[in-house]
Amino acid sequence: MPTRRQFLRFAAGAAAAATATGLYAWRVEPNWLEIVERPLPIANLPRALSGRTLAQLSDLHVGPLVDDRYLIRSLERLGRLNPDLVALTGDLITYRSPATFDQLGEVLRALPPGRIGSVAILGNHDYGPRWRNIEVANRVVASLEGAGVTVLRNQMTTIAGLDIVGIDDLWARRVDLSVLARRDSAAPGIVLAHNPDCVDRPDWHGYRGWILAGHTHGGQCKPPFFRPPLLPVANKRYSAGEIALAGERTLYVNRGLGHHLRVRFNCRPEITLFRLTEA
């Protein structure tokens, strides 16, 4: 049996470790950006795009919860990497008042333009309270377009021979996958969809390829060797990283830059820098 002194030493050590972990999860990791570099193989990729980079940013949550200075520093760091394409996959803001749009404008001034194009989609928070405020969404779109970003709302654009399809938000009840039926299925392309649960809808019209998503923040806190206990998705497989899907599709879930609560553990904020390759 341990002595009283040994027990007190153990208790003091455990309390110190818990305090240090809590401070780390609160003060350090939420602002400790990771640039994740990985290939993005795409079938029939135009030769001119081989080796080009695509930067995915998601879930900035500009507003009262995330430090604007941290977001601006993160975007400036991305700018030093000179991405060829920039894709923002939703939840640009956490809306509280019209002042949120002033903050968004300041942050977007630091957004580096993709050398050949910048695109974005909306997430549930971009639709304001209860994900239903069209006026808020339209203000977010106006801010993005003012920063030179093309916003895709169930639409497709083609940049240098690459189809980029942007799906509107699932929780805002704005998803319409019929845009996929209007493209050549053999053409090179990617899909942007904020909420990963979109991939389980039945109407993907034979699309094969990558789907880039966000929304989950990776769960924000992830116990080692286990899935995050809290994920805002129905399919708990869709936490973070690459996930193989049926129908020759592959999902990539970005852990996001921002947060709802200022706490992250074993789940650093992320900007993904993809290098395009021929599949």
Q: What is the mean pLDDT of the chain?
A: 92
- Domains of the chain (ranges, CATH numbers): 32-278 (3.60.21.10)
Which residues neighbour 270 within 8 Å (Cβ) at sequence distance 6 or greater?
33, 34, 35, 36, 218, 254, 255, 256, 257
Integer Cα distance of 255 and 211 in angstroms: 14
Confidence of residue 3 (pLDDT cuts 50, 70, 90): low
Task: Report the pLDDT value the prediction gives residue 227, as an integer from 0 to 100.
Answer: 83
Give Cα 31 to chain centroid, integer Å. 15
Task: Report the pLDDT value the prediction gives residue 229, as an integer from 0 to 100.
Answer: 84
Q: Which residue has the tokens 């993904």?
A: 272
Task: Report the pLDDT value the prediction gives residue 201, as an integer from 0 to 100.
Answer: 95
Task: Report the pLDDT value the prediction gives residue 265, as an integer from 0 to 100.
Answer: 87
Q: What are the pLDDT digits (tens) for 239-253? A: 999 999 999 999 999
* 213 Ramachandran zone, left/alpha/beta (phi>0; psi -120 to 50): beta
pTM of this prediction exceeds 0.75:
yes
Integer Cα distance of 45 and 232 in angstroms: 33
* 154 Ramachandran zone, left/alpha/beta (phi>0; psi -120 to 50): left
Confidence of residue 5 (pLDDT cuts 50, 70, 90): low
Confidence of residue 230 (pLDDT cuts 50, 70, 90): confident
Residues 111-118 have a mean pLDDT of 97
**Is the distance from CB of 89 to CB of 213 less than 8 angstroms?**
yes
Q: What proportion of the chain, given as a percentage, has pLDDT over 70?
A: 90
Q: What proportion of the chain, given as a percentage, has pLDDT over 90?
A: 82
